[in-house]
Amino acid sequence: MLKKPRGTYDHCVTNIRNTDIVAITWKDTKNVNLLSTFAAIEPVTKVSRYDRKMNKRVEVDCPHIIKVYNTHMGGVDLLDGLLGRHKIKMRSRKWYMRLFYHLLDVTIVNSWLLHKRIQNQKLDNNNVLPLMEFREQLAITLCKLGENNTPKRGRPSTDIEIDPKARVQPNRLDSLMLLSIEKDILDTVDISKIATQWFSIKQRRIQF
């Protein structure tokens, strides 16, 4: 392919689990390799490229999968940007764990994009969650899975059993002693004398 002219392409088709997979190599300035289960070669179109040897633009063949990729490649860049903002930062030496974390991030971003699309269809843009808050709510929801939040019926039971005999009964003798002490204090205080002194102090303040 390196020595062939620009616009040359080659492809290979295989079937895995009843799914056709197409591998395509297209010669542009460099070799472009693509793998797809959606698009293939047909229909082949023409694209304009600049030829340095001829010093002019020429038309070269372009498979259909290249056109599809160029049309939607902005979505790939957008996905990479969203993945870079809030990414799972768990590291692992095992390659399949890194692949799992990446696919999990892609799934979360796609779910958030669906959330935005649904809210836009409802004309309710005020309830669109930011990506970070969406991830937080998703994590909280997953952590609560399996919890039994159904309220129990009936009177709540207690683990501590109270023995009626163990309850503290008021001591009648102590109560009588307290009443007698209060009565003795009141008997020793001359209430009329205190009232007279308070009235005289009040009269002095009025005169001043």
Q: What is the pLDDT of residues 23-71, one digit of tens each?
A: 888 888 788 888 888 788 888 888 888 777 778 888 888 888 888 888 8
From 27, 2, 21, 22, select the one nearest 11 (Cα to Cα): 22
What is the band of 205 on the pLDDT scale with cuts at 50, 70, 90?
A: low
Is residue 10 scored above 50 in pLDDT? Answer: yes
pLDDT tens-digit readout, 167-177? 545 555 454 44
Q: Looking at this protein, which amino acid is placed at residue 153?
A: R
**Cα–Cα distance, 109 to 114 (Å, whole number):** 9
Closest CA to 85 of 120, 26, 135: 135
Is the pLDDT at 110 greater than 70? The verdict is yes
Residues in CB range of 50: below 8 A, 6 or more apart: 56, 57, 58
Q: Structure tokens of 10? A: 């080659």
More confident call, 57 vs 161: 57
- What is the number of residues in the chain? 208
- What pLDDT does 152 receive? 63
pTM over 0.95: no
Confidence at residue 32, expressed as pLDDT on a 0 to 100 scale = 83
The pLDDT of residue 182 is 47
pLDDT of residue 181: 46
Rounded Cα distance between 197 and 201, Å, is 6
Which residues, in sequence order, are CB contacts of 177 under 8 Å at separation 6+? none
The pLDDT of residue 173 is 46
Average of per-residue pLDDT across 1-28: 81
- Going from the C-alpha of 98 to that of each of 85, 89, 102, 135, the distances in angstroms are 17, 10, 6, 19
Q: What is the pLDDT of residue 179?
A: 47
How far apart are the C-alpha atoms of 7 and 20, rounded to whole Å? 24
Question: How confident is the prediction for the chain on average, in pLDDT?
Answer: 75
pLDDT tens track for 123-159: 777 788 888 888 888 888 888 887 776 666 666 655 5
Q: Do 95 and 102 form a contact (C-beta atoms < 8 A)?
A: no
Q: How confident is the model at residue 21 (pLDDT cuts 50, 70, 90)?
A: confident
Q: How confident is the model at residue 18 (pLDDT cuts 50, 70, 90)?
A: confident
What contacts 9, CB < 8 A, 6 or more positions away? 24, 25, 26, 27, 41, 61, 63
State residue 188's pLDDT score: 54
What is residue 80's three-state secondary structure?
Answer: helix
φ and ψ of 206, to 5 deg: -70, -40
pLDDT of residue 156: 61
C-alpha count within 13 angstroms, C-beta hemisphere, residue 129: 15
Contact 13, 22 (CB under 8 A): yes
Say yes or no to pLDDT of 206 above 60.
Answer: no
